[in-house]
Chain A
Amino acid sequence: MFLKRWSVAIAIWCLFVGTVGAGNASPTPMDFVKERIDQIITILNDPTYHTPGQKGSQRDRIWEVSQPMFDFKEISQRTVGPKWDLFSEAEKEQFTHVFSSFLGNTYIDKIQGEYHNEQIVYLKELVKEPLALVRTKLVRESVEIPIDYRLRKNDNQWKVYDILVENGVSLVQNYRVQFRSILEKEPPAELIRRLEQKLQEQNQALQ
């Protein structure tokens, strides 16, 4: 009798600890990406933002949700490449700030303008600590676009540091080649200035 009750207690305890344990386990890279993207889609579909004049606040909200998904410091370093060493500490910070704002503006505006309930299919995740690759596919009418997220684990937290479109076209590499051609002729300050100028143009256009 006692034994039976004891075993039930243990069973319940195991169950409880099990669920709590599962809850505490850090999410897999795919869960992490999916959770964030689902949140963004929720905001996109939210009727509150479908009234005129709400585009700006919707953009801010998407930015808020998507920011934790990316490691902008890592993205900035990789985008600049070996020339990162030429940047002073202040310039590194400036660059990271202006480049992440530029990316946010560019892509959030696109997503807002072009999202029409496309389906996102999560194909698989590949983990090779501290790196991971989450493979997804954007399904639109009859066009499918493969999109892969490269993640890196820092302080026990997965963050995206590069996005690959069409099976291997890296966004980071694309920007790196563009910035490299500028940095070959100009100092880092000039690259930052040009990004800031572009950012201003964007902000005016988004007003």
Chain B
Amino acid sequence: MKNRSFTSIALFTVALLFLIGCAGATRSGDRGTPGELPSDPESSLSASTSEGENQLSDEELLLLEDDSDWNDGPTEEIYTVPDPIEPFNRVMFTINDKLYLWIMIPVAKGYAKVVEPQIRTGVKNFFFNLGAPIRIVNNILQGKGKAAEAEVARFLYNSTVGVLGFGNPAKHHDGLNPDPEDLGQTLGVWGIGDGFFLYLPVLGPSTLRDTVGFVGDRYASPVGFVEPMELSLGLSGYNVLNTLSFRTDDYRTLKDAALDPYVSFRNAYIQLRQSKLRR
């Protein structure tokens, strides 16, 4: 029995690696977990102008900060992660690239043609809602009580008013859209460094820490408990396809805009994770 569950977990993980894609360095912070919904701290269409209202949060101050230290001598303030296995990573990058361009993106495009956006959005919301318990746990582990409460409230609200999470009525409420947290970020908050950069088969860019976090989050995901295993894997794969269907062009855009796509993806991923860690 015990043996069987271990084998199934191992199989599950391996198969997941084949099923789950994460669109390169696009919105990949929530890789493999249900499609992330952007949180907007203010959904007001109006702009706050005039200096009087300009209350800068720390994060915004950082975004505004001038990185003009480019001429202050040889040191640069760019956060980088070591990449000792770059040759291996580059091979993986090439394999993933073909997998994306030849298989996953065409399939996602075909799916997007057949299935209406409303339905795909519903599916995305459903899976995102399922991920709430994991995000709640990670918020608690990071000591983000307010965000954890917001996650709980959103989960209850979207599961009931949103009909099992297919709808996302919470989207229109301020304070019910906290930034998604995952185990990789939790470990980062606890002071564990990125380790080194990894380009995973199918999953795309990651670091040692984020990979560990990803496996931990998968382990706690409700989708992982679905029996039989084939169905569980099918669900994960479907979720990935569905998420990708919204952003089929992004991978190409990023790739075409780069002089060295591998270095570009690596940096974009690291920047994205850093920005998530700050929030």
Contacts and interface: CB of A to CB of B under 8 A. Distances in A.
Contact of A28 (B49, B60, B67, B120): B49
Interface in A127-150: 127-128, 131-133, 135, 137, 140-146, 148, 150
B84 to A, nearest CB: 15
Contacts of A12: none
B27 A81 contact: no
Interface stretch (A2-10, A50-58, A176-184): A176-184
A140 B27 contact: no
Contacts, number: 146
Determine chain A's interface SS by DSSP, over half rule: mixed
Interface in B61-100: 62-64, 66-68, 70-76, 78, 80
A168 B278 contact: yes
Contacts of B266: 177
Interface stretch (B137-145, B209-217, B225-233, B253-261): B253-261
A198 to B, nearest CB: 6
A167 B277 CA distance: 11
A173 interface: yes
Nearest to A110: B253
Nearest to A141: B117
Interface stretch (B183-191, B198-206, B267-275): B267-275
Given A164-B63, A178-B267, A126 B253 contact: no
Contacts of B73: 82
B contact residues, range: 35 or more
Interface string B96-134: 000000000000000000000100110011000000000
A123 to B, nearest CB: 6
Given A142-B124, A169-B272, A177-B78, A195 B279 contact: no
Contact size range, A = 35 or more
A127 B40 CA distance: 20
Contacts of B49: 28, 30, 124-125
Contacts of B275: 166-169
Contact of A122 (B47, B120, B249): B47
A143 B37 CA distance: 7
Interface in A78-109: 78, 80-82, 84-85, 106-107
Interface of A: 28, 30, 77-78, 80-82, 84-85, 106-107, 110, 113-114, 121-128, 131-133, 135, 137, 140-146, 148, 150, 152, 164, 166-170, 173-179, 181-182, 194-195, 198
Q: List 10 A-B pairs, minimum CB-CB distance, nearest first.
A: A168-B275, A144-B38, A142-B121, A169-B271, A177-B267, A133-B64, A124-B48, A81-B70, A143-B246, A141-B117
